[in-house]
Amino acid sequence: MLDQKFIRENPTSVEENLSLRGKVFKISHIHELTLKKKEIDIEISILQSESKKLSKLIGQIIGNSQNINSLELDDLKKKGNELRIKISELEEKQRLLDKKVDDEIYNLPNFPSKDAPIGKDENDNVLVKTWGDPLKIENPKSHWEIGEGLNLFDSIKSTTISKSRFITLIGDGARLERALINFMIDMHSKNGYLELMPPALVNSESLRGSGQLPKFSNESFKCSNDDLWLSPTAEVPITGFHRNEIIDPEQLPIKYVAYSPCFRREAGSYGRDTKGLIRLHQFNKVELYWFCDPTKSLEAHKKITSDAESILKKLNLPYRVVDICTGDLGFSSSRTFDLEVWLPNSNCYREISSCSNCLDFQARRSSIRTKIDKKNTYLHTLNGSGVAIGRTMAAILENGQQNDGSVKIPDALVPYFGSNFLKTT
């Protein structure tokens, strides 16, 4: 979340920064709330100071028993009780106002980085680089045609099990999914990431801390009888893993890699990517996550992006890196590099990873700090898919398709999958 003090002292700057996201943000009502809160904070502090002085005076009078004036003492005690009642009343107002201010600020997105390209939507994103040679063949098949032909997955029967946008992996399809997960986890572990396997169910506080709530409540599946949600990404439980902690600066950076199933409603995407593995309600993903020193997050952002790229390079999948413009940034992100993999059937690149620097936005929401010059300071968090498994499978099927209907498995994946080709049986 944004710094309440900064909002109180720089309302115009806050509106200008947020408006870089392509829409007008008016925060006058939040600014007024922060001013009222500051007034109450000051009033409580003054009254508490008076109460301490009064308690000390009463103690001195009682201690000097030979000079006790009962009328004076009763009057002082009465004033003390009145102060305590007034402080209690103000603290209740403070508590309610604190919640109101937080609820309002929780709905504000992160400031875009000054280095992010200015733009309104995805059309203004900036190409950084491309890698590999996109496969160009005549009439390339789609990954779902290839998958169905090789009996790798079934979406029709999955509808009878669950609903649309779910899929059941079959035989070599399930084996390929497992191979990709193990390959990615091993790659990132060798690069210094500590493996986590977090819960798939997360509470509201974890979602709020990572920036999913309250903004994206309609995107997640909630359990009706508990304060639990199906996790939309491992970013959520990993952020919550260190909630309310002060991390020793000697431990930084902390780098995690986590496999997790992810669940999303995909609200607002009806009619888009209804076939195949691109936009499902349930999918698997390997997530990269950093907790780092605030002075080093810019370099960390380059490194986490490079680590995600290494997977695509090892699998020899053509991709490009795109610098996301201010109007297309995710809610919690200050700057994002998207990795987009080449899909021959679509004749375009499709997102397979978003690598984001959230600065102190999530750490502030989750109260995750470190010590800098002996002062508690919010650290910076970064996250990125390392990478989305289903979309990687789709890219392998389309880029590895052969004239005889088989699919060549990338060399780096062969030891995990067990053979060089996917073939009809």
CATH assignment of the domain containing 289:
3.30.930.10
Same domain, 177 and 220: yes
Q: What is the dihedral of CA 297, 303, 305, 307, to 10 degrees?
A: -140
What residues have CB less than 8 Å from 369, skipping those under 6 apart? 245, 246, 247, 363, 376, 377, 378, 379
| Structural domain includes residue 10 | yes
Same domain, 187 and 274: yes
| Structural domain includes residue 113 | no
Q: How far apart are CA 391 and CA 389, in angstroms?
A: 6
Provide the residue-wise pLDDT of the chain in tens; the chain has 425 residues.
999 999 999 999 999 999 999 999 999 999 999 999 999 999 999 999 999 999 888 887 777 765 666 777 888 889 999 999 999 999 999 999 999 999 999 999 999 999 999 999 999 999 999 999 998 889 999 999 999 999 999 999 999 999 999 999 999 999 999 999 999 999 999 999 999 999 999 999 999 999 999 989 999 999 999 999 999 999 999 999 999 999 999 999 999 999 999 999 986 555 566 788 999 999 999 999 999 999 999 999 999 999 999 999 999 999 999 999 999 999 999 999 999 999 999 999 999 999 999 999 999 999 999 999 999 999 999 999 999 999 999 999 999 999 999 999 999 999 999 999 999 76
Contact (CB, 8 A) for 239 and 381: yes
| Structural domain includes residue 326 | yes
Same domain, 99 and 134: no
- The CATH number given to whatever domain includes residue 40 is 1.10.287
CB half-sphere exposure, 109, CA atoms < 13 A: 25
Same domain, 136 and 249: yes
What are the strands of the beta sheet with 369-372, ordered from one edge? 246-247, 369-372, 375-378
Q: How far apart are CA 283 and CA 391, in angstroms?
A: 9
CB half-sphere exposure, 85, CA atoms < 13 A: 6
User: Residue 425: what pLDDT?
Assistant: 65
Same domain, 97 and 137: no
Same domain, 142 and 90: no
Closest CA relative to residue 167, chosen from 153, 152, 178, 181: 153
Exposure string over 116-148, b if 16+ CB within 10 A, otherwise e? bbebeeeeebeeeeeebebbeeeebbbbbbbbb
SS3 136: coil
User: Residue 70: what pLDDT?
Assistant: 74
Q: Give the pairing of strands 246-247 and 229-230.
A: unpaired
SS3 286: strand
| Structural domain includes residue 215 | yes
Helix and strand counts by DSSP (H, E) for the chain: 13, 17
Q: Which of 105, 131, 158 is the last residue of a domain?
A: 105
Same domain, 126 and 101: no
| Structural domain includes residue 112 | no
| Structural domain includes residue 131 | yes
Q: Which of 46, 70, 105 is the last residue of a domain?
A: 105
| Structural domain includes residue 115 | no
Same domain, 324 and 398: yes
Q: How far apart are CA 356 and CA 349, in angstroms?
A: 19
Q: pTM for this one?
A: 0.92
Q: Which domain holds residue 50?
A: 4-105
- Give me the sign of the Cα torsion angle 148, 396, 336, 243: positive
How many domains does the chain fold into?
2
Contact (CB, 8 A) for 350 and 323: no
User: Residue 275: what pLDDT?
Assistant: 86
Same domain, 197 and 96: no
CB half-sphere exposure, 45, CA atoms < 13 A: 6
User: Residue 269: what pLDDT?
Assistant: 58
User: Residue 170: what pLDDT?
Assistant: 97
Q: What is the dihedral of CA 335, 307, 342, 174, to 10 degrees?
A: -120
| Structural domain includes residue 114 | no
Same domain, 213 and 268: yes
User: Residue 15: what pLDDT?
Assistant: 97
Same domain, 58 and 141: no
